[in-house]
Amino acid sequence: MLAVFTSASSALVVAGTTQRPTCSAASLVSRRSVLQSLGVGLIAAAAPSAADAKSDFKWGPMAAMSTEQMDALDEQSRSATAGVLLPSGVRVIDMVVGDGPAPSKGDRVYAHYKVWGGGGFRSGPAADWSFQEGRPYSWTLGEETDRLPSGVAIDGAAGMKEGGWRRLVVPANLAFGDTGLRKVNYGPQGRYIGTKAPYVIKPGEAAYFDLIMLDGGSGRCEALLRPPGVGEAEARKLRSMTCSYKQEIF
């Protein structure tokens, strides 16, 4: 498992405890903007009307945090030396260390994610996000997917516990490479990317990911989103934003 590191340039909060980081007041951003940056307020170009519904929503990693802690964590995560640099070149910044199960390679996990291009965290509209679908994204830990590149699905998420909030700086070769990422759209048939859509992450750019692990082995999301006796096609239609109850839609 990946060890958790702290330093003057990387803040850490362990679920259930508080360690208050310090940061100058002049550099702080609002707590609302931090929540929105994670997608918790459902801020997305495709669904701006949802912003007011849950702008103060708090779950898991954010539930016990003060405004000052949220602000300082966001600010400190932007340092070029924040967190720990893995041998692969992925920079891991544990904003909050979860206190739930720690999944192993091969386990199915559920997490919300949001990603930006080379400008860095919250450098404009997100290039892609899971919140639009009303449910966390699910994949097998240790396996690259069509939405999470190897720098996230294999390297970056390793060692993360349920309830954790992690930021990742993923170099281009472990992100979207020379292909880049084009604008993601949603239509009657679901998610799609047009072959001529504009780039939201340019070829050769690093990618900046936020991850919040909702189910790392407790089964809380599995029970609601892949219940026994329900086929895969039908299960994909089920919604629960934080896996707190059935059809939890904001």
CA gap 198, 184 in Å, rounded: 9
Helix (H) or strand (E) holding 46: none
Here the CATH number for the domain that contains residue 21 is: 3.10.50.40
Contact 91, 169 (CB under 8 A): yes
pLDDT at 60 (0 to 100)? 67
The tokens describing 57, both together, are 């929503």
Residue 8 belongs to a domain? no
pLDDT tens digits, one per residue of 170-209: 999 999 999 999 998 887 878 888 888 999 999 999 999 9
pLDDT tens digits, one per residue of 93-147: 999 899 899 999 999 999 999 999 988 988 888 999 998 889 999 999 999 999 9
Q: Predicted confidence band at 167 (pLDDT cuts at 50, 70, 90)?
A: very high
Residue 3 belongs to a domain? no
Structural domain containing residue 43:
13-235
pLDDT at 58 (0 to 100)? 58
Residue 246 belongs to a domain? no
Residue 118 belongs to a domain? yes
Q: Which of 14-28, 161-175, 183-197 has the highest mean pLDDT?
A: 161-175
Residue 88 belongs to a domain? yes
Q: Which of 59-63, 117-121, 157-161 has the highest mean pLDDT?
A: 157-161
What are the Cα distances from residue 186, in Å, to 123, 178, 192? 22, 24, 6
pLDDT at 249 (0 to 100)? 80
pLDDT at residue 85 above 50? yes
Residue 134 belongs to a domain? yes
Handedness of CA 236, 48, 205, 76 (dihedral sign): negative
pTM assigned to the model: 0.77
Question: What is the β-pairing status of strands 165-170 and 184-187?
Answer: unpaired
Domain count, the chain: 1
Residue 197 belongs to a domain? yes
pLDDT at 52 (0 to 100)? 27
pLDDT tens digits, one per residue of 220-247: 999 999 999 999 999 989 999 999 999 8
Helix (H) or strand (E) holding 192: strand 190-193
Residue 219 belongs to a domain? yes
pLDDT at 65 (0 to 100)? 77
Q: Predicted confidence band at 53 (pLDDT cuts at 50, 70, 90)?
A: very low
Quickly tell me which residue has 């699910």 as its tokens: 138
Write the CB contacts of 119 (distance below 8 Å, at least 6 apart in sequence). none
Task: Provide the mean pLDDT of the chain.
Answer: 78
